[in-house]
Structure 1
Amino acid sequence: MAEHRAIPEGYMTVGEIAKKMGVTVRTLQYYDKEGLLSPSAESEGGRRLYTDKDLVTLHQIVSLKSLGFSLEDIRKYMVSLETPSDVASVLTKQADDIREKIEQLSIALSEIEQLKEEVLQMQTVNFKKYADIIVNLQMKNDSYYLIKHFDDDTLDHIRSQFDKASGMDFMDRFNRLTDEIIELQKKGVPPESEKCQQAVRKYWDLIMEFADGDLSMIPKLMEIGSIDTASVPRESRQKTVNDYLSPAFEIYFSKLEKNPFGEVEQ
């Protein structure tokens, strides 16, 4: 009886190969079930038997898994790993996938750190504002920090006024105009100049688009726009724009002989 159950020369039991590779018997059973590595033979007593070639295959599986490959990827690649160039090609693709994941994680980490700063500056816990900040961070909206200063009515207006696509379009136009205004400021272009007045007109048009023509929102926007945030580098751009455009707006409205800011205050 024992003679019939002897392990043939050149074969290993599932326990032996598991011990050699530092994996569990259950893992080998799972790989067999998934079609990754099946026993090369079976003893007369029904024991699963593996060869040195199976050991090499198992080593490939363990190595690829440690590099982050999924079992599905391993199943696909194992067939073609016959030459060094085959292996190098597979590793190149995996390296590209890892770089992409690192980039995504870096972006997520940056967003978490930025959200944490905003949370600490807010006086109360407000998950709706947190969600708005996250959405704006994902939209690459550099003005996300202003959200903590908006009241609920203003935020409700923004949510109803813009979806993700229109919001991104608006911020793209706003940021391009901001860049244009900062360039004028750097060059020392006077507020009464035609170039500056054109920029003021575009800026006012964007404000009215943002408010959807509702002048009652102007005081809130003025209050938020006047917040001195220059101590934080990423927020100093807006203060530069505010300081530069303030006298330019006075000239702009004097020419119109109509000051909507004054009308609202009345």
Structure 2
Amino acid sequence: MENRKAIPDGYMTVGELAGKMGTTVRTLQYYDRVGLLKPAAASEGGRRLYTHKDMIRLHQIQSLKSLGFSLDDIKNRLIPLDTPEEVAEMLAGQEQAIRQQIRRLEEVAAETKALREEVLKIKEVDFKKYADIIVNLQMNNEFYWLIKHFDERTLDHIRNRFDRESGMAFIDRFNKLDDRVLAVKESGVPPEDDRAMELAVEFWDMVVEFTGGDMSMLPELMEFGNMMDEDHAWARKQAEVNQYLQPGLERYFRETGMDPFGKEGE
């Protein structure tokens, strides 16, 4: 009791502050040494003394630390707490940081759920495919689910031929071509029309670009097309595009004497 009576009203010892805020004396001593949370005063015996303002400051430090900020980052974020406006500003910044963390955690949760679903569909342990799926989820590539349909050779080809930027650019161009194809189809242009064949040639050029001219990949790509989940909207869309372009492709191959599965004509 004598020791407590020596503490002025409105102050608390380092042990009392640590107890109230669920931390340790050693942590508060460290915050003092690095200049993050200095005691408001010292007792006659040299004991660290803190106020309720220091408690609010400590709460801010603990909240930011729980969000992954380093102590240096936290130190730069601390502002004076001398007016209601400054306290409100501090709390607004803290709220914003928390909401950003919530959004990030929601994204991580969604990625984890998607990966779990893909793992069950792959039906075998394949960490390389898991890694590819994770990378594409982090890229916000909505076509991450296609990965499970590719064999290892095709996936190695994709990994070696495309980086993040070029891969996403290729997907974007391919989807825009699909949209143009469907627009032409919906306008009533028959598949045998020259306009449809021009789109078929563009489609074929993208296939060649994707394979790098390696026609030995075509059987795998065709099998891949047959394996795609027909319940998926993109798969249904692609099946419609493929069916519409088929006559144009066959005409193009006849007129050029090209045999994609053999050798080019004489």
Question: TM-score w.r.t. structure 2 length?
Answer: 0.79
2:57 paired residue number: 60
Aligned length: 259
Q: CA RMSD in A?
A: 3.3
Moved more, 178-187 or 120-129: 178-187
Percent identity over the alignment? 47
Aligned to 2:121: 121
Distance 1:200 1:170 in 2: 17
2:43 corresponds to: 42
Distance 2:3 2:196 in 1: 97
| Greater mean alpha carbon deviation, residues 206-215 or residues 25-34 | 25-34
Deviation readout 1:79-135 (Å, 9 max, x if unpaired): 422233323333333333333333333333222222222211113211111112222
2:57 maps to a residue whose letter is Q
Residues 3-40 of structure 1: per-residue CA shift (max 9 Å, x gap): 99971644544444555666544443333233213251
Q: Hey, what does 2:173 align to over in structure 1?
A: 173
Structure 1 unaligned runs (5+)?
none
Matched residue of 1:241: which SS? helix
Q: What amino acid sits opposite 1:60 in the alignment?
A: R
Deviates more, 1:230-239 or 1:110-119: 230-239
The equivalent residue for 1:138 is 138
Instruction: List gaps (5 residues or longer) in structure 2.
Output: none
**C-alpha distance in 2, partners of 1:79/1:25?**
24
**1:247–1:116 CA distance, 2 compared to 1 (3 A):** farther
SS in 2 for 1:260: coil
Letter in 2 for 1:61: L
Does the C-alpha gap of structure 1 residues 257 and 164 become closer, same or farther in structure 2, counting only changes over 3 Å? same
Q: What is aligned with 2:29?
A: 29
The equivalent of 1:152 in structure 2 is 152
Structure 1 residue 257, shift from structure 2 partner: 4.1
1:147, distance to aligned residue in structure 2 (A): 2.1
Distance 1:142 1:182, change over 3 A: farther
Q: 1:125 to 1:90 in 2, by over 3 A?
A: same
Distance 1:95 1:247, change over 3 A: farther
> Separation in 1 of the partners of 2:147 and 2:195?
30
Q: Is the 8 A contact 2:115 2:130 kept in 1?
A: yes
Q: Relative to 1, partners in 2 of residues 1:106 and 1:239: Cα closer, same or farther, differing over 3 Å?
A: farther
